[in-house]
Amino acid sequence: MGKPKKKNLPDLGHLCVPGMEIAVRATPKAARNAIVPAEGGLKVSVTAAPENGKANEAVRSLLAAAMGTAASNLNLRRGAASRSKVFVYTGPA
């Protein structure tokens, strides 16, 4: 899995607040990687298949790229086996 490209991603830098919970609705095996603001959170589509945590890691990497931070600053709090996920930003302000 390569590093997601920054083009065509919304600027989510305002979410880089320590302790901020980010609600995500994930769509694995999509045609292309994309992030769309939706009611109550973000809709994230990734091309990775939902096996062995590959889709979760792809969502985390794509979200981190849009936020302009490292993927290690995002922790999956809820939803490892669900399409509805909650990530928590743990990096610097």
- Mean per-residue pLDDT over the chain, rounded: 92
Give me the mean pLDDT over the 67-75 stretch: 95
Helix H or strand E encompassing 18: none
DSSP run (H or E) holding 57: helix 54-67
The reported pLDDT for the residue numbered 8 is: 80
Question: What is the C-alpha separation between 5 and 79, in angstroms, rounded?
Answer: 25
Task: Write the pLDDT tens digit of every residue in 76-93.
Answer: 999 999 999 999 999 998
> What's the confidence (pLDDT) of residue 60?
97
Residue 65 scores a pLDDT above 80: yes
User: Is this model's pTM higher than 0.95 or not?
Assistant: no
Binned at pLDDT 50, 70 and 90, residue 3 comes out as: low
pLDDT tens digits, one per residue of 22-46: 999 999 999 999 999 999 899 999 9
